[in-house]
Amino acid sequence: MLSQSNILVLSSAIRSGRGALNWSQQDLSDKSGVSLPTVARMEAGIGNPKLETLAKLLGAIEKAGVKYDWNQPMGYGMTVTLKKVGTVGKP
């Protein structure tokens, strides 16, 4: 069972990762296979999520290019590598 402080850190990491990718909660739900109400509850720090649910959410975010560093004294660090979709302004 996760402590409340761990749940809050993970909730923040999920919100931050989703925001860095410019995803809506629905986008994260679709890409992770986790229901939209569960995504919303997790981001709000409500309840005690299953480790499987956390793995699905964080896995979808990481697959899209977010790397978490969990060895930080105040929680976590985050690096985002966005995939190149196309060339802007190409003549």
How confident is the model over 21-68, as pLDDT tens digits?
999 999 999 999 999 999 999 999 998 899 999 999 999 999 999 998
Res. 84 pLDDT band, cuts 50 70 90: low
pLDDT of residue 86: 52
pLDDT of residue 47: 87
Of residues 71 and 11, more confidently modeled: 11
d(CA 76, CA 29): 22
| Closest listed residue to residue 34, CA positions, set 48, 14, 20, 54 | 54
What is the pTM assigned to this prediction?
A: 0.82
d(CA 9, CA 80): 18
| Closest listed residue to residue 18, CA positions, set 28, 32, 7, 8 | 28
